[in-house]
Amino acid sequence: MLPSSPRDSLRSRCARPLAAPNRWALAALVALPLLAGCGDPSTQPDFERQLLRDLTPEREFKGTLNGQPVHLVASDCVVYLNEADPASGARRWVKVLEPEFYPSFMSCVRQSLSREGDAVEAFVGRQAMGAGGCCSSGGRYRSSDGRNWIKR
């Protein structure tokens, strides 16, 4: 049957199901922007400059824990520890604390680091987009070595 108008011709071409290779190409195009944001930012060039650029005193801890010097920084509700790379000895930033997953788009609304006796306390709070108050994920955490954290 021949289409009776250009509109019917367009409708018949658009109504056909996508061939398998075309479906995979479409799925890849849809997934590509989602995957682009994945990965550990601490491995990116200029990470340290970006991490320390807008640093405020309440988001940094430099001190001694268990007799060891510790340097921690909170950025975008993630706490990073500055340590020596065992292989090269070079300094690097390692992610040591991040709030639990929450199935929504999130924004960091509170973050701080402070000494509490012989330990350091971190408060990280993420809020779901469109939600009120704080916090959909995160909370108050405590560490005596800067690497192992316990939720309070």
Closest CA to 151 of 138, 134, 135: 138
Q: Do residues 62 and 134 share a domain?
A: yes
14 & 47 share domain: no
Q: Both 74 and 125 in a single domain? A: yes
Q: What is the mean pLDDT of each run of 10 residues along the chain (152 residues)?
A: 57 57 64 52 71 88 94 94 88 90 83 95 88 77 95 90
Cβ–Cβ contacts within 10 Å for residue 6, how many?
A: 8
| Residue 16 confidence (pLDDT) | 60
- Give the model's pLDDT for residue 23: 66
- The pLDDT value recorded for residue 106 is 82
Tokens linked to 137: 């994920």
Together in a domain, 144 and 78: yes
* Residue 1 forms part of a structural domain: no
User: Structural domain of residue 85, as residue ranges?
Assistant: 42-151
Within its chain, how far is the Cα of 99 from the centroid?
Answer: 9
β-strand partners of 127: 107
- 32 and 51 part of one domain: no
Q: Which residues pair with 83 in a beta bridge?
A: 92
User: What sign results for the dihedral spanned by CA atoms 60, 125, 96, 50?
Assistant: negative
Q: Which of 110, 112, 118, 125 is nearest to 143 (CA)?
A: 118
pLDDT in the model for residue 22: 65
Report the helix count and the strand count for the chain, using DSSP H and E. 3, 8
Q: What pLDDT was estimated at residue 24?
A: 67
The total number of structural domains that make up the chain: 2
> Same structural domain for residues 47 and 31?
no
What is the per-residue pLDDT for 41? 56
